[in-house]
Structure 1
């Protein structure tokens, strides 16, 4: 379960002082002092009437939604360091539920290109003036091959990820078709430039599922970035696919000494997804206009690859195709969930 950091609330008390001259003031003070020692006369109803003054309460606006792990990893760059940030789990059903709520969870939120297309089509978000889209570029999100460097001293490949004979141990993978099917085909020898042509055919999808079935007894599934972080914190796998922000975040949270995080992210065939800022439709029109101006002036930008990267390990990327996932995502996600759902005896 994702627990968003609560935002601070400010309570402003308003009071007024009226003066009717120094004599009136002293009389008033004397009367107030006397009332401490002398009981007030009973009213006709047997009790004093007390006037309650309601204090105005200022409710702060929601924050800006960013992927889990982003804050601890310090992965956002922005000219405005005062923007309140809150983390969310990146799941489309979380996005849809939040946008349909009476009260907005975010003033703006970072989403993938596939989620952006769905949000625009479903009118979940405010349109951007004078553009054909509903989002503003907000950086990238990376899924990297991550491994326990205390048990594996050289950088593995996705092929090594499947080689449990040479590298015994559990493997962590995202429970979802997006990125997981790409990884399976990379491990099966498909060149990065041919991944989506292969996945566009029933034979290619079957090939990816068959590859995952071979690894299935060793897989620890994660659903959210926070789940991936827990696998690393508990040393629950030898290798896993993980958001790069969480690799950095876990390292930042780990104490020094023997308990320091042992996981490191690779730089080869990193699965990269462009991100976009959107303004949920349940944000008021006035607040949406103000938020849009903020984003246009200094939209926070996410760059989550761990730095510095040695020159000999210059990163290579597989750009996740939002076009492909917009067309085939629903069907493949349903097929994936049905195939890999936990089996009960």
Structure 2
């Protein structure tokens, strides 16, 4: 028998190990420096370890793209970085694979994943990676000697003059309006669930409406501040952290009333690479991987065990740092799932009114 025929025969009898075929995964995320950090801390290390190749795509939020892939049986994404609210909606529609928390890696000290993840970090179809927030930032040069310290200062145009930047969305704006009007952080959604509470929030926004510069992309707030178009603006703190640390901008952080959210990894229903996708999610949400991601992005890790491993220089700027979330508002996913359509409509009408 020839050597080649002998090899075929041995393989057929299971006497020779055959290398596993590498898998091509597609990972969709938000682009920019955030996805670059994911590439460095998770994508490339996982590929080197597993041999699987990961292709990158850009996701724009919502669930329309995922729904289209699942309903047409043309699933081109395997893992998607999603906000908790969107992942919850997609899960309810059967568009995502269920998550088995028991299969996730234990913490670096051996604690089960279920006890290591922060509240909200594990849901039916998503494994949390970072906690991010929207907060208020300001140009220190505009308020020399008297910088803002509380969310009410954002609405005080006499004491802190200048234009205000706000994301063009009711989410965040309505919460801050109520906080500035004296509603405790823990009661914001209770008040906002009533018609009177909604009216109260919009009435407070009316007081600064003529001074608002609306933004839609995360890169805009630091640019608005740098150009002097606004003196204060809502922003994603990791963007401001980069502007301060890398570009040496004179921006200050106002953490009072930060609106916190959760981000995480979800697997699209019907993926042909389910095992590899699960392996990637497990790898990317380990203690070490999340600590490295937070160190690179200034976003809070969703594992308790990751927090002590974050670069100490970054720690004070994390949304989850104890001193930063003293009066934080945790986004109520159920509230926005129930009320987003109505409040978005009301917000659009309000925008059009003089």
User: Which stretch of structure 1 is more off in the superposition, 155-164 or 82-91?
Assistant: 82-91
How far the C-alpha of 1:232 sits from its partner, in A, is 3.5
Matches within 5 A, 1:227-238: 227-238=220-231
How far the C-alpha of 1:158 sits from its partner, in A, is 1.2
Task: Report the 3-state secondary structure (helix = DSSP H, G, I; strand = E; otherwise coil) of the residue aligned with 2:208.
Answer: helix
Q: Does structure 1 conserve the Cα–Cα contact (< 8 Å) formed by 2:85 and 2:333?
A: yes
Residue 127 of structure 2 corresponds to: 136
1:183 to 162, 176, 193: 176
How big is each residue's C-alpha offset from its partner over 1:84-110, in whole Å with a ceiling of 9 and x where there is no partner? 696867642xx4236525876754222
Matches within 5 A, 1:238-249: 238-249=231-242
Higher helix share: 2
Q: Distance in 2 between matches of 1:125 and 1:226?
A: 30
Q: Does structure 2 conserve the Cα–Cα contact (< 8 Å) formed by 1:145 and 1:270?
A: yes
1:82 to 18, 30, 45: 45
Is residue 216 from structure 1 mapped to residue 212 from structure 2 by the alignment?
Answer: no
Q: Does structure 2 conserve the Cα–Cα contact (< 8 Å) formed by 1:172 and 1:228?
A: yes
How big is each residue's C-alpha offset from its partner over 1:53-111, in whole Å with a ceiling of 9 and x where there is no partner? xxxxx996433414755257x5999566536696867642xx42365258767542222
Residue 5 of structure 2 corresponds to: none
How far the C-alpha of 1:243 sits from its partner, in A, is 0.9
How big is each residue's C-alpha offset from its partner over 1:25-69, in whole Å with a ceiling of 9 and x where there is no partner? xxxxxxxxxxxxxxxxxxxxxxxxxxxxxxxxx996433414755
Residue 276 of structure 1 corresponds to: 264
Task: Report the 3-state secondary structure (helix = DSSP H, G, I; strand = E; otherwise coil) of the residue aligned with 2:265.
Answer: strand
Q: Distance in 2 between matches of 1:342 and 1:170?
A: 19
1:62 to 26, 31, 36: 26
Q: Distance in 2 between matches of 1:238 and 1:335?
A: 27
Residue 332 of structure 2 corresponds to: 321
Q: Does structure 2 conserve the Cα–Cα contact (< 8 Å) formed by 1:70 and 1:245?
A: no
Is residue 287 from structure 1 mapped to residue 273 from structure 2 by the alignment?
Answer: yes
* TM-score, L = length of structure 2: 0.67
2:316 to 300, 309, 320: 309
How far the C-alpha of 1:246 sits from its partner, in A, is 1.4
Q: Does structure 2 conserve the Cα–Cα contact (< 8 Å) formed by 1:145 and 1:240?
A: yes
* TM-score, L = length of structure 1: 0.68
Q: Does structure 1 conserve the Cα–Cα contact (< 8 Å) formed by 2:166 and 2:214?
A: yes
Q: Does structure 2 conserve the Cα–Cα contact (< 8 Å) formed by 1:143 and 1:270?
A: yes
Q: Does structure 2 conserve the Cα–Cα contact (< 8 Å) formed by 1:179 and 1:271?
A: yes
Task: Report the 3-state secondary structure (helix = DSSP H, G, I; strand = E; otherwise coil) of the residue aligned with 1:168.
Answer: coil
Q: Distance in 1 between matches of 2:241 and 2:57?
A: 15
**Uncovered stretches (5+) of structure 1, i.e. residues with no partner:** 1-57, 255-259
Could you say which structure has the larger radius of gyration? 1
Task: Report the 3-state secondary structure (helix = DSSP H, G, I; strand = E; otherwise coil) of the residue aligned with 2:141.
Answer: coil
**Uncovered stretches (5+) of structure 2, i.e. residues with no partner:** 1-21, 47-53, 103-122, 301-312
Task: Report the 3-state secondary structure (helix = DSSP H, G, I; strand = E; otherwise coil) of the residue aligned with 2:210.
Answer: helix
Task: Report the 3-state secondary structure (helix = DSSP H, G, I; strand = E; otherwise coil) of the residue aligned with 1:272.
Answer: strand
User: Which stretch of structure 1 is more off in the superposition, 166-175 or 108-117?
Assistant: 108-117
Residue 342 of structure 2 corresponds to: 331
Q: Does structure 1 conserve the Cα–Cα contact (< 8 Å) formed by 2:177 and 2:201?
A: yes
Residue 3 of structure 2 corresponds to: none
Q: Does structure 2 conserve the Cα–Cα contact (< 8 Å) formed by 1:184 and 1:208?
A: yes
How far the C-alpha of 1:276 sits from its partner, in A, is 2.4
Distance 1:125 1:210, change over 3 A: same
2:140 to 149, 171, 192: 149
Q: Distance in 1 between matches of 2:227 and 2:59?
A: 20
The alignment's C-alpha RMSD in Å is 3.5
Q: Does structure 2 conserve the Cα–Cα contact (< 8 Å) formed by 1:110 and 1:275?
A: yes
How far the C-alpha of 1:294 sits from its partner, in A, is 1.3
User: Which stretch of structure 1 is more off in the superposition, 262-271 or 167-176?
Assistant: 262-271
Q: Does structure 1 conserve the Cα–Cα contact (< 8 Å) formed by 2:29 and 2:35?
A: no
How far the C-alpha of 1:340 sits from its partner, in A, is 1.3
Distance 1:90 1:229, change over 3 A: farther
Residue 203 of structure 1 corresponds to: 196
Residue 96 of structure 1 corresponds to: 64
How far the C-alpha of 1:128 sits from its partner, in A, is 2.9
2:91 to 120, 131, 148: 120
